[in-house]
Chain A
Amino acid sequence: MQVLLETRALHRRFGAIHAVRGVSLKVHRGEVLGFLGPNGAGKTTTMRMVAGFLEPSEGSAWVDGVNVALDPLRAKTRMGYLPEGAPCYPDMRVEEFLDFIARARGFHGSERKARVEHAITAVNLAMVRRQTFETLSKGYRRRTGIAQSLLHDPPVLIMDEPTDGLDPNQKFEVRQLIRRLGKDRAVILSTHLLEEVEAVCTRAVIINRGTMVFDGTPAEMDAKAPASLRTNRLDHVFRQLTTGDVPGGSA
């Protein structure tokens, strides 16, 4: 299987803080990788380095065979990135914003219009297309953020908490979309929701204090929980790996 996203011993320091300590990953075509970890574990920092927003202190990130630090422009054309919190321009209308992204991605004329329309349809934004961001709910903002990330049909998608703030119906839709997109792409998404790992991810990586502590399929993660445990099995494994704290009894 083709490797579309790779990090080689990524490190990142902020002054005295060593936020990411040697994260090495390979994500293949057709994989949806769930990036898990407690707050402050280094998920966002790692994704920012892959997206080319932050430069690694050491190590390198590769997107579709392109070194992000050495050829950022080419690397950025091959990935879609949803930053944490799905930032947007409050005064802009949804379709204006997507049109700006399409122009930024170098599309012209009828193709530009077609890309915008396709993105609007893909995440069901037709209802709010003429609204400005400041009038949108959190869910719609997030969906517009997702729409801009896949507008140019990139082989690699990097999404920082794509379902945060969505209601259960919206979560369901976005997960379906991600699963569909993941079939012929490499997707990396961060989340706090372990149910999401089971729902959309083909692989899970847990990072704690900047270090990878688990890398495997959701089934493998599940298998690490004691056989006697009936519910919240992934939660149990997550806690065990990130705090060393094993809940007693039949939690």
Chain B
Amino acid sequence: MLTAWGLTKAYEGRTVVDQVGFELQPGTVTAFLGPNGAGKSTTLRMITGLTRPDRGQATIAGRPFTAWPNPSHVAGVLLDAAAVHPGRSGRGHLRMAATLSGVPGRRADEVLEMLGLADAATRKIGKYSLGMRQRLGIAHALLTNPPLLVLDEPINGLDPEGIRAVRTLLRGHAARGGTVLLSSHVLSEVDQTADRVLVIGNGRIVADGPLAGLTSSSRSLVRAKDMNRLAEALQRGGIAIQPAPDGFIAAHAPVEQVSTVAFAAGIPLLGLREEQMSLEDLFFRLTGGGRA
């Protein structure tokens, strides 16, 4: 659905996006993760034609976004929730977009209702909270019911209820065969939504795959009622251990090996799971500690 090849952009001699390439398949939600300044937004702007790449290209369903005569029907895009005129109403803003896209004006009311903004439809956007602006931006992206959604930090500023609603909405879009690309700098915002994660650091794609695969480590976190016996058993089994948060022991072995050792020692376990790295740890590992 979306293919990017070697997207590269430099500002004043500094390369902010370097040879970024990926391909998104229909029916998937892909998270584009990276710290602030890693090149996420620049990449999304190049995909949507707002910024001209120095090299490389991105196509949506075979054509660059700007080569489609009416691209809003190909991709719904939210790049900056603040990019709206504060003096206009939410409904007025969406009705203008509906006119421009060639969809009926009533569709504006439908998406406002869908995003929980019906009550604020006639209010000036300047009076909207950040979360409401985000929802308005998502409503704008959904206006034409396009197959691809490109959303830059869509969950930023939303309350827990809003986050859950947006997650459900995005998963639903993918379940109906749509494609979603959403960026974030916070792993927890996307870990329940994305099928796949693209990690960008210092302008380059540094990891690409399922989230669980990227954040898994070679360590297990284990907890038992008798932690001293557990520690002794693990060490006897040749497994190095370290204290871990929340009363766990971090064991340098896969969960199967830890389970076998504990079972053989007759120690009932209260918890055992593979250690997941935080996004910060992941970035640190993938980018060698360099932060953009």
Chains A and B belong together in one complex: no
Give chain A's interface residues, CB within 8 Å of chain B. Answer: none
Q: Hey, which bits of chain B sit against chain A, CB under 8 A?
A: none
